[in-house]
Amino acid sequence: MLMHNPPHPGEVLRELCLEPLGLSVTAAAEALGVSRKTLSAVLNGKAGISPEMAVRLSIAFDTSAESWLIQQSQYQLWHAEQHRKELNVKKLVAA
């Protein structure tokens, strides 16, 4: 069952990881070994969580990489489902 309009994982990252630790985007990016621009894109919902970023987050915040990828997948799937009727796909059935 899909969550109703799940948050972008960047929002979760900001609110549950960075803010409680008082981390700036610059400090968090440095700790993660990515550019500030890369992290900012994720935090602002302009980029998704890649498998590599998921591993980086799992190391930094002692979480599982899978949890970050699941959040990303749920976010993307919910948004794709909003355009289901526009996809123009025909059902395939056995003859």
Mean pLDDT confidence for 4-24:
96
Q: What's residue 4's pLDDT?
A: 85
Q: Report how many helices (DSSP H) and strands (DSSP E) the chain contains, helices first.
A: 6, 0
Q: What is the pLDDT of residue 31?
A: 98
Q: For 77-93, what is each residue's pLDDT tens digit?
A: 999 999 999 999 999 99
pTM of the model: 0.90
- Residue 72's pLDDT is 98
The CA distance from 81 to 2, in Å, is: 10
pLDDT above 70: percentage of residues in the chain = 97
Helix (H) or strand (E) segment spanning residue 1? none
| pLDDT surpasses 90 at 1 | no
Measured CA to CA, the distance from residue 73 to residue 56 in angstroms comes to 17
